[in-house]
Amino acid sequence: FFFFFFFFQAEDGIRDVERSRGLGDVYKRQVFHINAWRLYKKSWKRKLNKLTAQRLFKLKLRAAHKIHRAWKRYKHIASYKKTKGRIVSIQAHWRGYKEYRKYKAVRELVLKIEACARMYLARKKFVKVKSFTRRLQAMIRLFLHRYHKRRHIAARKIQNFMQTMYFCLLIVIEKIERS
């Protein structure tokens, strides 16, 4: 009887030298162990008739050693992958933390630069507003000075006119009193 086993892999790279991380690793190992078992079984059946008890014991012992070595190798690789996964996770967290610290430092610098830029723009605007306010105040003072000066001149004219009228009235009253 011949049995054919087909294993479908969910990822590319089954022919790669470096083993992939997906289910392909399991399939590769299964195919390897099944083929090894078949070869061992065939060779064992052929030699079974020719073997003595002592040679049969040695053959079984060698087979047990091979299985034991394969099992130890498998356990060692599994342990290594588990440890490697943990190490990679720690390294990723550490790198992330370092990048976050860099990001925070750069962010602080950017915020300081932005604050300086805002301060510069605010000062520039303040200087413009201040100079405009001073010019406006100067114009108002000038207007008030001219206005008060005009009012003063007008008041002087009115006063002069009133004095003139008063003196004229006095003269007229004197003339009326004389006549």
Question: Mind giving me the DSSP string for 106-146?
Answer: HHHHHHHHHHHHHHHHHHHHHHHHHHHHHHHHHHHHHHHHH
- Cβ(62)–Cβ(55) under 8 Å? no
- Cβ(37)–Cβ(67) under 8 Å? no
Per-residue pLDDT, 45: 61
- Report the C-alpha gap between 41 and 43 in whole angstroms: 6
Per-residue pLDDT, 158: 82
Per-residue pLDDT, 38: 63
Mean pLDDT of the region 120-129: 93
Per-residue pLDDT, 36: 60
Is the pLDDT reported for residue 115 higher than 90? yes
Mean pLDDT of the region 76-102: 93
- Report the C-alpha gap between 83 and 80 in whole angstroms: 5
Is the pLDDT reported for residue 87 higher than 90? yes
The amino acid occupying position 2 is F
* Mean pLDDT across the chain: 78
Percent of the chain with pLDDT over 90: 37
CB atoms within 10 A of CB 7: 13
Is the pLDDT reported for residue 91 higher than 90? yes
Mean pLDDT of the region 108-122: 95
Per-residue pLDDT, 77: 92
pTM exceeds 0.75: no
Tens of pLDDT along 142-178? 888 887 777 778 788 888 888 888 888 888 888 888 8
Confidence of residue 59 (pLDDT cuts 50, 70, 90): confident
- Report the C-alpha gap between 121 and 131 in whole angstroms: 15
- Cβ(20)–Cβ(13) under 8 Å? yes
- Cβ(9)–Cβ(23) under 8 Å? yes
- Report the C-alpha gap between 114 and 108 in whole angstroms: 10
Confidence of residue 126 (pLDDT cuts 50, 70, 90): very high
Mean pLDDT of the region 58-73: 88
